[in-house]
Structure 1
Amino acid sequence: MGKRLYAIAYDIPDDTRRVKLANLLKSYGERVQLSVFECYLDEGLLRELEAKAKRLLNLSEDALRVYPVQGAVRVLGAGPLVREMPFAVV
Protein backbone atom coordinates (compact mmCIF):
# COMPACT_ATOMS: atom_id res chain seq x y z
CA MET A 1 0.00 0.00 0.00
CA GLY A 2 1.25 3.49 -0.82
CA LYS A 3 1.27 6.67 1.15
CA ARG A 4 -1.88 8.29 2.44
CA LEU A 5 -2.58 11.62 4.08
CA TYR A 6 -2.90 11.81 7.87
CA ALA A 7 -3.89 14.76 10.03
CA ILE A 8 -1.96 14.56 13.30
CA ALA A 9 -3.05 16.71 16.24
CA TYR A 10 -1.65 16.97 19.74
CA ASP A 11 -2.39 18.52 23.11
CA ILE A 12 0.67 18.57 25.35
CA PRO A 13 0.82 20.76 28.49
CA ASP A 14 4.61 20.52 28.95
CA ASP A 15 6.60 22.99 26.80
CA THR A 16 9.67 20.77 26.43
CA ARG A 17 7.73 17.69 25.29
CA ARG A 18 5.54 19.82 23.01
CA VAL A 19 8.56 21.33 21.23
CA LYS A 20 10.24 17.92 20.86
CA LEU A 21 7.08 16.41 19.37
CA ALA A 22 6.59 19.35 17.00
CA ASN A 23 10.17 18.96 15.79
CA LEU A 24 9.61 15.24 15.25
CA LEU A 25 6.43 15.88 13.27
CA LYS A 26 8.19 18.51 11.13
CA SER A 27 10.45 15.75 9.84
CA TYR A 28 7.41 13.79 8.58
CA GLY A 29 5.09 16.50 7.26
CA GLU A 30 3.89 20.09 7.30
CA ARG A 31 2.49 22.14 10.16
CA VAL A 32 -0.92 23.49 9.10
CA GLN A 33 -2.13 24.81 12.48
CA LEU A 34 -0.36 25.45 15.78
CA SER A 35 -0.81 21.85 16.96
CA VAL A 36 -1.85 20.11 13.73
CA PHE A 37 0.35 18.54 11.05
CA GLU A 38 -0.52 16.93 7.73
CA CYS A 39 1.74 14.05 6.77
CA TYR A 40 1.84 11.67 3.81
CA LEU A 41 2.91 8.34 5.31
CA ASP A 42 3.00 4.70 4.36
CA GLU A 43 2.40 2.06 7.04
CA GLY A 44 6.10 1.76 7.86
CA LEU A 45 6.58 5.50 8.34
CA LEU A 46 3.41 5.72 10.43
CA ARG A 47 4.61 2.96 12.78
CA GLU A 48 8.04 4.60 12.97
CA LEU A 49 6.54 8.01 13.81
CA GLU A 50 4.25 6.51 16.46
CA ALA A 51 7.14 4.62 18.10
CA LYS A 52 9.28 7.77 18.25
CA ALA A 53 6.33 9.81 19.57
CA LYS A 54 5.65 7.29 22.35
CA ARG A 55 9.21 7.76 23.60
CA LEU A 56 8.65 11.55 23.84
CA LEU A 57 5.16 11.62 25.34
CA ASN A 58 3.91 11.26 28.88
CA LEU A 59 0.91 9.06 28.04
CA SER A 60 -0.89 9.98 31.29
CA GLU A 61 -0.89 13.73 30.41
CA ASP A 62 -0.35 14.13 26.68
CA ALA A 63 -2.65 13.41 23.76
CA LEU A 64 -1.64 12.61 20.18
CA ARG A 65 -4.33 11.82 17.61
CA VAL A 66 -3.71 10.44 14.13
CA TYR A 67 -6.57 10.81 11.65
CA PRO A 68 -6.46 9.19 8.21
CA VAL A 69 -7.85 11.71 5.72
CA GLN A 70 -10.40 10.39 3.25
CA GLY A 71 -11.06 12.34 0.07
CA ALA A 72 -9.85 15.82 -0.84
CA VAL A 73 -8.79 18.45 1.68
CA ARG A 74 -10.44 21.85 1.42
CA VAL A 75 -8.64 24.93 2.71
CA LEU A 76 -10.68 28.02 3.50
CA GLY A 77 -8.54 31.00 4.40
CA ALA A 78 -4.79 31.28 4.78
CA GLY A 79 -2.41 28.39 4.41
CA PRO A 80 -1.12 26.26 1.56
CA LEU A 81 -2.53 22.89 0.59
CA VAL A 82 -0.02 20.28 1.68
CA ARG A 83 1.30 18.14 -1.16
CA GLU A 84 2.88 14.73 -0.97
CA MET A 85 6.66 14.89 -0.84
CA PRO A 86 8.55 12.45 -3.07
CA PHE A 87 10.59 11.40 -0.01
CA ALA A 88 10.44 11.62 3.78
CA VAL A 89 13.03 13.47 5.81
CA VAL A 90 13.68 11.33 8.89
Structure 2
Amino acid sequence: MNAGDPVAASGAPDDRSTVELDVRNLGPPKPLQKTLEATADLADDEVLVQFNDRAPQHLYPKLDDRGLSHDTVETDDATVTVIWRES
Protein backbone atom coordinates (compact mmCIF):
# COMPACT_ATOMS: atom_id res chain seq x y z
CA MET A 1 0.00 0.00 0.00
CA ASN A 2 1.12 3.49 -0.79
CA ALA A 3 0.23 5.74 2.15
CA GLY A 4 1.06 8.85 0.09
CA ASP A 5 -1.63 8.04 -2.47
CA PRO A 6 -5.01 7.35 -0.84
CA VAL A 7 -6.47 5.83 -4.01
CA ALA A 8 -3.57 3.37 -4.30
CA ALA A 9 -3.81 2.64 -0.56
CA SER A 10 -7.52 1.88 -0.88
CA GLY A 11 -9.27 -0.85 -2.79
CA ALA A 12 -10.44 1.62 -5.44
CA PRO A 13 -9.53 1.28 -9.11
CA ASP A 14 -6.41 3.35 -9.75
CA ASP A 15 -7.01 3.87 -13.47
CA ARG A 16 -9.81 6.42 -13.04
CA SER A 17 -9.74 10.19 -12.79
CA THR A 18 -10.16 11.59 -9.30
CA VAL A 19 -12.53 14.21 -7.97
CA GLU A 20 -11.34 15.69 -4.66
CA LEU A 21 -13.64 17.01 -1.95
CA ASP A 22 -12.16 18.56 1.20
CA VAL A 23 -14.72 18.75 4.02
CA ARG A 24 -12.28 18.98 6.95
CA ASN A 25 -13.37 22.49 7.92
CA LEU A 26 -17.13 21.95 7.63
CA GLY A 27 -19.38 21.26 10.61
CA PRO A 28 -22.03 18.54 10.61
CA PRO A 29 -24.06 17.79 8.59
CA LYS A 30 -22.29 19.62 5.74
CA PRO A 31 -19.61 16.94 5.06
CA LEU A 32 -22.31 14.31 4.64
CA GLN A 33 -24.45 16.57 2.44
CA LYS A 34 -21.57 17.73 0.23
CA THR A 35 -20.30 14.19 -0.23
CA LEU A 36 -23.70 12.79 -1.17
CA GLU A 37 -24.17 15.65 -3.64
CA ALA A 38 -20.79 14.85 -5.19
CA THR A 39 -21.60 11.14 -5.48
CA ALA A 40 -24.79 11.94 -7.38
CA ASP A 41 -22.64 13.45 -10.15
CA LEU A 42 -19.90 10.80 -9.99
CA ALA A 43 -19.23 9.24 -13.40
CA ASP A 44 -18.41 5.56 -13.81
CA ASP A 45 -14.82 6.45 -14.74
CA GLU A 46 -14.25 8.68 -11.68
CA VAL A 47 -13.26 8.15 -8.07
CA LEU A 48 -14.34 10.62 -5.38
CA VAL A 49 -11.66 11.32 -2.76
CA GLN A 50 -13.12 12.90 0.37
CA PHE A 51 -10.73 14.51 2.89
CA ASN A 52 -12.20 14.68 6.39
CA ASP A 53 -10.97 15.20 9.95
CA ARG A 54 -12.62 11.95 11.11
CA ALA A 55 -14.05 8.73 9.70
CA PRO A 56 -17.49 9.56 8.26
CA GLN A 57 -19.44 6.84 10.08
CA HIS A 58 -22.86 8.20 9.07
CA LEU A 59 -21.82 8.31 5.42
CA TYR A 60 -20.99 4.60 5.04
CA PRO A 61 -24.56 3.22 5.23
CA LYS A 62 -25.78 5.89 2.81
CA LEU A 63 -23.08 4.91 0.32
CA ASP A 64 -24.00 1.25 0.76
CA ASP A 65 -27.67 2.08 0.13
CA ARG A 66 -26.67 3.79 -3.13
CA GLY A 67 -24.58 0.81 -4.26
CA LEU A 68 -21.30 2.70 -4.02
CA SER A 69 -18.04 1.10 -2.96
CA HIS A 70 -15.84 2.89 -0.45
CA ASP A 71 -12.66 2.54 1.54
CA THR A 72 -11.19 4.81 4.20
CA VAL A 73 -7.48 5.31 4.81
CA GLU A 74 -5.71 7.43 7.41
CA THR A 75 -3.01 9.88 6.33
CA ASP A 76 -0.89 12.22 8.42
CA ASP A 77 -3.26 15.16 7.98
CA ALA A 78 -6.66 13.67 7.10
CA THR A 79 -9.01 10.73 7.08
CA VAL A 80 -9.51 9.98 3.40
CA THR A 81 -12.55 8.13 2.10
CA VAL A 82 -12.36 6.96 -1.50
CA ILE A 83 -15.73 6.35 -3.18
CA TRP A 84 -16.38 4.69 -6.54
CA ARG A 85 -18.90 2.79 -8.64
CA GLU A 86 -18.03 -0.83 -9.39
CA SER A 87 -17.73 -1.55 -13.10
Q: Give the number of the structure with larger relative contact order, counting CA–CA contacts within 8 Å between residues 6 or more apart.
A: 1
Same structural fold, with TM-score higher than 0.5 when normalized by the shorter chain: no
Which protein has the larger Cα radius of gyration, Structure 1 or Structure 2?
A: 1
Q: TM-score, normalised by structure 1?
A: 0.31
Question: TM-score, normalized by length of structure 2?
Answer: 0.31
